[in-house]
Amino acid sequence: MTETVLGVVGGSGIYDLPGLEHAEWVSVESPWGAPSDQVRIGRIDGLKVVFLPRHGRGHVYAPSDINYRANIDVLKRCGVTDLVSVSACGSLKEELAPGTFVLVEQFIDRTFAREKSFFGAGCVAHVSMAYPVSPRLVDTVEAAARSENLTYRRGGTYLAMEGPQFSSLAESHLYRSWGCDVIGMTNMPEAKLAREAEICYATVAMITDYDSWHPDHGEVEIQAIIKVLQDNAANAQNLVARIARDIPRIHEACPVGSDTALEFAIMTKPEARDSELVEKLRAVAGRVL
């Protein structure tokens, strides 16, 4: 049996969690480079919680500058079994108004300037991304959202764009024609790397604005986004704290195999593997190497 360790990646408003005890900032080194920041480790009702500010304290990293591999590697080294990503997003649907929390189920990755895999020349692996979020973890998130009386919707597709600029009107209409629900800049390759690291993953997309498609909200204004974020900070904190209180203390097997994603994924024969790369992979892939 494996004890549950809850990881949280999000903005600066999330790490002041209600009920978080014995919290301290800890430096964790990664062979993949420097993570966005130290991790803040504490306990809620006895459960170990590991928080990582995705953009660094003070929001110092743009989405394309985040070292996603180091971030996921560090969380894995801290023992994280279940990772909840809390992300600000734009809405691509009229019914998904600012202030709504969307529990995403699918992603479309339109980023192009980021390292998207721990694997490569010298150790090749292919993991399935058909079901990128863990439904059992999303069940816990949904129950927590209900308990906290939040406005939420379960299901939907997250379009990950490169940024840092917001969408053009033509792009926004294109993504709507694809059936996407929310748009953001940070959940890819984060979700892919969590899958490679065999960490169960769930996204809470906090809608801050309608994207540029909306006839009454044609421009995405950063001031309006910040206001919605500030208004929602307490809701996000309470949601994460509730998840920590309610999640099973013993990690349950993921029904879509998030925690066994590497079982048959590594293609390179042991004798042909690059020893330096294998050493870098010890934390994320040590179970199967």
Residues belonging to the binding site for phosphate are 12, 54-55, 87-88, 186
Nearest to 38 by CA among 2, 77, 93: 77
Residues belonging to the binding site are 12, 54-55, 87-88, 185-186, 209-211
> Does the N-terminal peptide bond of residue 63 adopt cis geometry, omega within 30 degrees of 0?
no
User: Which three-class secondary structure state does DSSP give residue 184?
Assistant: strand
Beta strands in the chain (DSSP E): 6-10, 21-26, 39-44, 47-53, 82-91, 101-103, 106-109, 152-154, 157-160, 182-184, 200-210
Q: Which among 37, 82, 109, 211 is annotated as catalytic?
A: 211
Six token digits for residue 5 = 């360790």
Torsion, CA 21, CA 26, CA 29, CA 32, rounded to 10? 60
Is 73 marked active-site? no
String of DSSP letters for 40-53: EEEEETTEEEEEEE
Residues belonging to the binding site for substrate are 185, 209-211
In single-letter form, the type of residue at position 4 comes to T
Contact between residue 204 and residue 85 where contact means Cβ atoms under 8 Å apart: yes
Six token digits for residue 279 = 């050493």
Is 211 marked active-site? yes
Contact between residue 104 and residue 158 where contact means Cβ atoms under 8 Å apart: yes
Q: Which among 139, 209, 246, 259 is annotated as catalytic?
A: 209
Q: Which residues are catalytic?
A: 209, 211
